[in-house]
């Protein structure tokens, strides 16, 4: 669905589902998950359906991710930092 941008010389190294991925500086965590090739980035706590980032502008909450162990983060609103660990959000977070 998406084409990977050419790798910038100043690419940021992050970890998506445990695998190293280089992404452009300024990219969002949601973009990093898509660049890493995740087809779905969370499952709905209501229906269990697989979901993925949608609006990429903070409105729809479809992009929830576990970022550096912090659950249910809106991935499209978080800018990547070197070494950031990004994982899928499975269903609702624990309290």
Shortest CA distance to 51 belongs to which of 89, 13, 19? 89
DSSP 8-state code for residue 56:
S
By CB under 6 A, name the one of 50, 59, 70, 92 that touches ligand FES. 59
DSSP 8-state code for residue 79:
B
If binding is defined by CB under 6 A, does position 38 make contact with ligand FES?
A: no
If binding is defined by CB under 6 A, does position 55 make contact with ligand FES?
A: yes
If binding is defined by CB under 6 A, does position 58 make contact with ligand FES?
A: yes
Site for ligand FES in 6-25 (CB under 6 A): none
Name residue, tokens 């697989």: 50
Which one, 21 or 30, has the nearer CB to ligand FES?
Answer: 30
CA dist., res. 47 & res. 57, Å (int):
24
Which one, 8 or 60, has the nearer CB to other proteins?
Answer: 60
Name residue, tokens 């087809």: 39
Residues binding ligand FES (CB under 6 A): 30, 53-56, 58-63, 74, 76
């Amino acid at each position: 669905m998406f084409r990977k941008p050419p790798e910038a010389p100043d690419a940021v190294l992050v970890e998506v589902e445990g695998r190293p991925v280089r992404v452009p500086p300024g990219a969002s965590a949601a973009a990093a998950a898509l660049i890493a090739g995740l087809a779905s980035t969370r499952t709905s706590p209501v229906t269990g359906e697989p979901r993925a980032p949608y609006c990429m502008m903070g409105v729809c909450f479809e992009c929830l991710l576990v970022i550096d162990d912090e659950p249910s983060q809106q991935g499209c609103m978080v800018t990547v930092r070197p070494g950031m660990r990004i994982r899928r959000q499975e269903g609702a977070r624990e309290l």
